[in-house]
Amino acid sequence: MILNPGKNLQIPTLIQRSLRVRIALILLTAFSIGAAALILLIDGRDQTLTILFILLLMMLCVWLSLHRLVISPILRLQKLARKIGSDEDRSEVEFSPRRDEIGSIGTTLLATEKESERQRQELLALANRMDKERRHDPLTKLHNRRHLYLEGPKQFSMAHRLNYAISVMMIDLDHFKQVNDSYGHAAGDTVLIEVAATLLKHCRTYDILIRFGGEEFTLVLVNCDHAQSLQAAERIRQDIASLKISHEQHTSIPITSSIGVCSAKGMDMERMIIIADECVYKAKESGRNCVRHAEIATQPD
């Protein structure tokens, strides 16, 4: 029959949870029984005290030996086991080489800890790689819309706190369907790749450039006001129009863009994207290959 100390026996919590307390109680009990037996069996007082003193020294030696050989290694094993799978520093947990059962457990735990850390690093690398793949457009290698909606709010929040302007530019390639129909979809892919490379030249490290979808790109310009964004948009329009794109037998594929821009302070990103997209339609209605700005310089705090 297996006794459950928590239910059948009312043992104090400290005794239940501490191996060293249990061993100390066992030794104390053994010493008490031995002392009682000596008192009953030996008549001489001095002789009894001497034997009790020797017995006490023996118990103390046993305690120190058990603590060194059993309790202390188990406590270190427990400390290591609690740190497995966590980010805590495990270098302070050391084990002296042993060939007994406790040494075997320590070796197994260390191997488990190393394997756990290896798997954790692999999972972290896999998660980072998957996140990077989810955030990138496989064709142009630019970030995609997912990245915009993850990172964009951070830039807008900072712009609101520091009270500087931010601009959103929507860039739509003109007559892109005709490019695909006339030169083939592979040529259309080449056009998108070349345009993406051109846009990267106008993007600072802290700006956000993405392929929004299809033949449309989005550029978020940080700390960029109305006048600056118009200049940047015009340079982009000119660079795209001057591209000499070739694909297989086609030596030059003409391409232009219609660009809509919204610059403001204190406006949320989604609203600015909608306004900039509306400006793209105005640019197309104006004959394409041009820039239209929403004429919003600031937004009340």
> Which residues have CB under 8 Å from 277's CB, separation 6+?
170, 260
* Dist CA 136 CA 132 (whole Å): 6
* Dist CA 283 CA 258 (whole Å): 6
Residue type, 194: E
Contact (CB, 8 A) for 231 and 264: no
Strand partners, 211: 217
Q: Is 189 strand, coil or helix?
A: helix
Q: Which residues are catalytic?
A: 215
* Dist CA 285 CA 4 (whole Å): 83
* Dist CA 30 CA 67 (whole Å): 17
Q: Which of 196, 191, 177 is nearest to 248 (CA)?
A: 191
* Dist CA 171 CA 63 (whole Å): 79
Q: What token pair was written down for 128? A: 């980072």
Q: Which of 225, 190, 203 is nearest to 297 (CA)?
A: 225
Q: Are strands 166-173 and 257-264 parallel, antiparallel or unpaired?
A: antiparallel
